Chain A
Amino acid sequence: MEINGYHGEDGTADETEEEEMGGLKRLRTSKKETAAGLRAGAGMENVAAGASAPSERRASSAVARQRIDSLKKNRPPFPWFGMDIGGTLVKLVYFEPKDITAEEEQEEVENLKSIRRYLTSNVAYGSTGIRDVHLELKDLTLCGRTGNLHFIRFPTHDLPAFLQMGRDKHFSSLHTTLCATGGGAYKFEPDFRMMADLQLLKLDELDCLIRGVLYIDSVVPSGGPSECYYFENPTDPERCVQRPYTLENPYPLLLVNIGSGVSILAVYSKDNYKRVTGTSLGGGTFLGLCCLLTGCSTFEEALEMASQGESTRVDKLVRDIYGGDYERFGLPGWAVASSFGNMMCKEKRESISKEDLARATLVTITNNIGSITRMCALNENIERVVFVGNFLRVNTLSMKLLAYAMDYWSKGQLKALFLQHEGYFGAVGALLELLNPS
Chain B
Amino acid sequence: MADCDQMGRSTHSMDKSITLPPDEIFRNLENAKRFAIDIGGSLTKLAYYSTVQHKVAKVRSFDHSVKETDDDPLYEISVQEEIFARLHFIKFENAYIETCLDFIKDHLVNTETKVIKATGGGAHKFKDLIEKKLKLKVDKEDEMTCLIKGCNFVLRNIPHEAFVYVKHADSEFRFQNTHPDIFPYLLVNIGSGVSIVKVESEDKFERIGGSSIGGGTFWGLGALLTKTRRFDELLQLASRGQHTNVDMLVKDIYGGSYGSLGLTGDLIASSFGKSATADKEFSKEDMAKSLLHMISNDIGQLACLYARLHNLSRVYFGGFFIRGHPVTMHTITYSINFFTKGEVQALFLRHEGYLGAIGAFLKGAEEDNPNQYSWGENYAGSSGLMSVSPELNPMQRARSGTFPFDMLEMDRLERKLVNLPLLQDPSSYIPDTVDLTEDALAREYWLYCFEEALDGVVKRAVASQPDLPQAAERAEKFRQKYRHKLQTLRHQPFAYGSLTVRSLLDTREHCLNEFNFPDPYSKIKQRENDMALKYFQKVVKSLEKLSWEQRQFALIKGLLAGNVFDWGAKAVSDVLESDPEFGFEEAKRQLQERPWLVDCFDQWIERLKGPPHKCALFFVDNSGIDIILGVFPFVRELLCRGTEVVLASNSGPALNDVTNGELQILTERIAAMDMIIQSGIKEDRLILVQSGSSSPCLDLSRLDKVLATVVRERHTDLVIIEGMGRAIHTNYYATLSCESLKLAVIKNSWLAERLGGKIFSVVFKFEQPGKSQGGHQ
Residues of A bordering B, CB below 8 Å: 2-8, 12-13, 15-16, 19-20, 22-23, 86-88, 155-157, 182-184, 186-188, 204, 206, 259-261, 275, 277, 279-285, 287-293, 297, 314-316, 321, 328-329, 335-347, 349, 357, 364, 367-368, 371-372, 375-376, 378-379
* Alpha-carbon separation in the docked complex, A128 to B421 (Å): 75
Which residue of the partner chain A has the closest CB to B211? A371
* Alpha-carbon separation in the docked complex, A156 to B269 (Å): 15
From known contacts A2-B269, A321-B1, A338-B217, infer whether A364 and B259 are also in contact, taking CB-CB under 8 Å: no
| CB proximity of A290 to chain B, nearest CB, Å | 8
Which residue of the partner chain A has the closest CB to B272? A288
From known contacts A321-B1, A337-B192, A340-B221, infer whether A285 and B305 are also in contact, taking CB-CB under 8 Å: no
| CB proximity of A84 to chain B, nearest CB, Å | 12
| CB proximity of A180 to chain B, nearest CB, Å | 12
Which residues of A lie under 8 Å from residue B192 when comparing CB positions? 316, 337-338, 341, 344
22 contacts between A and B (CB under 8 A): A3-B250, A3-B258, A5-B261, A5-B267, A19-B257, A182-B253, A183-B253, A259-B270, A260-B273, A261-B268, A284-B271, A292-B225, A292-B272, A293-B224, A321-B121, A335-B212, A339-B212, A339-B217, A342-B220, A343-B221, A371-B209, A375-B309
Which residue of the partner chain A has the closest CB to B340? A6
Q: Choose among A2, A285, A346 the residue that contacts B253 (Cβ–Cβ < 8 A).
A: A2
Q: Which of B12-20, B293-301, B358-366 contacts A (4 or more CB under 8 A)?
A: B293-301
Contact A261 B4 (CB under 8 A): no
Which residues of B lie under 8 Å from residue A343 when comparing CB positions? 219-221, 223-224
Within 8 A of A (CB), among B424-450: none
Within 8 A of A (CB), among B1-32: 1-5, 8
Q: Choose among B3, B260, B275, B339 the residue that contacts A6 (Cβ–Cβ < 8 A).
A: B339
Contact B213 A364 (CB under 8 A): yes
Contact B4 A344 (CB under 8 A): yes
Which residues of B lie under 8 Å from residue A290 when comparing CB positions? 276
Which residue of the partner chain A has the closest CB to B207? A329
From known contacts A260-B248, A261-B270, infer whether A277 and B339 are also in contact, taking CB-CB under 8 Å: yes
19 further interface pairs, Cβ-Cβ under 8 Å (given A7-B262, A186-B254, A291-B275): A19-B257, A88-B276, A155-B277, A183-B258, A188-B255, A261-B271, A275-B261, A280-B268, A280-B294, A284-B270, A285-B272, A288-B246, A288-B270, A288-B272, A293-B225, A341-B212, A346-B229, A376-B305, A379-B309
Which residues of A lie under 8 Å from residue B207 when comparing CB positions? 329
Which residues of B lie under 8 Å from residue A16 when comparing CB positions? 259, 262
List 6 tightest A-B contacts by C-beta distance, closest first.
Answer: A343-B220, A288-B272, A183-B253, A284-B270, A187-B255, A338-B216
* Alpha-carbon separation in the docked complex, A23 to B282 (Å): 36
| CB proximity of A55 to chain B, nearest CB, Å | 50
Contact A261 B273 (CB under 8 A): yes
* Alpha-carbon separation in the docked complex, A277 to B257 (Å): 17
| CB proximity of A30 to chain B, nearest CB, Å | 14
Residues of B bordering A, CB below 8 Å: 1-5, 8, 121, 142, 144, 191-193, 195, 207, 209, 211-217, 219-221, 223-225, 229, 246-248, 250, 252-263, 267-277, 279, 282, 287, 294, 297-298, 301-302, 305-306, 308-309, 338-339, 341
Contact A378 B309 (CB under 8 A): yes
| CB proximity of B477 to chain A, nearest CB, Å | 43
Contact B224 A340 (CB under 8 A): yes
| CB proximity of B256 to chain A, nearest CB, Å | 7
Which residues of B lie under 8 Å from residue A376 when comparing CB positions? 305
Which residue of the partner chain B has the closest CB to A86? B253
From known contacts A23-B260, A343-B221, infer whether A372 and B305 are also in contact, taking CB-CB under 8 Å: yes
From known contacts A260-B248, A292-B275, A344-B219, infer whether A279 and B301 are also in contact, taking CB-CB under 8 Å: yes
Q: Choose among B209, B219, B275 the residue that contacts A288 (Cβ–Cβ < 8 A).
A: B275
Contact B221 A285 (CB under 8 A): no
| CB proximity of B149 to chain A, nearest CB, Å | 14
| CB proximity of B305 to chain A, nearest CB, Å | 4
Contact A284 B306 (CB under 8 A): no
Which residues of A lie under 8 Å from residue B256 when comparing CB positions? 186-187
* Alpha-carbon separation in the docked complex, A284 to B269 (Å): 9
* Alpha-carbon separation in the docked complex, A281 to B302 (Å): 13
Which residues of B lie under 8 Å from residue A340 when comparing CB positions? 216-217, 220-221, 224
* Alpha-carbon separation in the docked complex, A314 to B192 (Å): 13
Which residues of B lie under 8 Å from residue A277 when comparing CB positions? 301, 305, 339
From known contacts A87-B248, A336-B212, infer whether A183 and B255 are also in contact, taking CB-CB under 8 Å: yes
Which residue of the partner chain B has the closest CB to A296? B276
From known contacts A87-B248, A371-B211, infer whether A285 and B271 are also in contact, taking CB-CB under 8 Å: yes
Q: Choose among A182, A280, A357 the residue that contacts B224 (Cβ–Cβ < 8 A).
A: A357
Which residues of B lie under 8 Å from residue A182 when comparing CB positions? 253
| CB proximity of B489 to chain A, nearest CB, Å | 36
* Alpha-carbon separation in the docked complex, A293 to B144 (Å): 34
Which residues of A lie under 8 Å from residue B219 when comparing CB positions? 343-344
* Alpha-carbon separation in the docked complex, A285 to B341 (Å): 25
* Alpha-carbon separation in the docked complex, A148 to B263 (Å): 37
- Which of A3, A184, A297, A336 has the most chain B CB within a 10 Å cutoff? A3
- Which of B1, B247, B279, B305 has the most chain A CB within a 10 Å cutoff? B305
Contact B298 A368 (CB under 8 A): yes
Which residues of A lie under 8 Å from residue B2 when comparing CB positions? 341, 344
* Alpha-carbon separation in the docked complex, A6 to B340 (Å): 9
Which residue of the partner chain B has the closest CB to A329? B207
Q: Choose among B8, B209, B272 the residue that contacts A284 (Cβ–Cβ < 8 A).
A: B272
Which residues of B lie under 8 Å from residue A287 when comparing CB positions? 276
Q: Choose among A292, A339, A342 the residue that contacts B213 (Cβ–Cβ < 8 A).
A: A339
Which residue of the partner chain B has the closest CB to A409? B209
Which residues of A lie under 8 Å from residue B214 when comparing CB positions? 338-339
Which residues of A lie under 8 Å from residue B301 when comparing CB positions? 277, 279, 372
Contact B308 A344 (CB under 8 A): no
Which residues of B lie under 8 Å from residue A261 when comparing CB positions? 248, 268-271, 273
| CB proximity of B290 to chain A, nearest CB, Å | 9
| CB proximity of A4 to chain B, nearest CB, Å | 5
Q: Choose among B221, B253, B263 the residue that contacts A184 (Cβ–Cβ < 8 A).
A: B253
Which residues of A lie under 8 Å from residue B217 when comparing CB positions? 338-341, 364
Which residues of B lie under 8 Å from residue A341 when comparing CB positions? 2, 192-193, 212, 216-217, 220
Contact A157 B277 (CB under 8 A): yes
Contact A2 B270 (CB under 8 A): yes
Which residue of the partner chain A has the closest CB to B253? A183
* Alpha-carbon separation in the docked complex, A353 to B632 (Å): 84
Which residue of the partner chain B has the closest CB to A190? B255
Which residues of A lie under 8 Å from residue B215 when comparing CB positions? 338
Which residues of A lie under 8 Å from residue B4 when comparing CB positions? 344-346
Contact A280 B144 (CB under 8 A): no
Which residues of B lie under 8 Å from residue A186 when comparing CB positions? 254-256
* Alpha-carbon separation in the docked complex, A188 to B253 (Å): 9
Which residue of the partner chain B has the closest CB to A183? B253
Which residues of B lie under 8 Å from residue A204 when comparing CB positions? 260
Which residues of B lie under 8 Å from residue A19 when comparing CB positions? 257, 259-260, 262
Which residue of the partner chain A has the closest CB to B2? A344
Which residue of the partner chain B has the closest CB to A16? B262
Contact A4 B212 (CB under 8 A): no
Which residues of A lie under 8 Å from residue B302 when comparing CB positions? 371-372, 375
| CB proximity of B145 to chain A, nearest CB, Å | 8
Which residues of A lie under 8 Å from residue B259 when comparing CB positions? 16, 19-20, 22-23
| CB proximity of A10 to chain B, nearest CB, Å | 12
| CB proximity of B551 to chain A, nearest CB, Å | 62
| CB proximity of A288 to chain B, nearest CB, Å | 3
Which residue of the partner chain B has the closest CB to A378? B309
From known contacts A4-B297, A5-B261, A297-B279, infer whether A292 and B255 are also in contact, taking CB-CB under 8 Å: no
* Alpha-carbon separation in the docked complex, A259 to B209 (Å): 26
Contact B248 A284 (CB under 8 A): yes
Contact A12 B193 (CB under 8 A): no
Which residues of B lie under 8 Å from residue A292 when comparing CB positions? 225, 272, 275, 282, 287
Which residue of the partner chain B has the closest CB to A330? B207
- Which of B142, B192, B341 has the most chain A CB within a 10 Å cutoff? B192
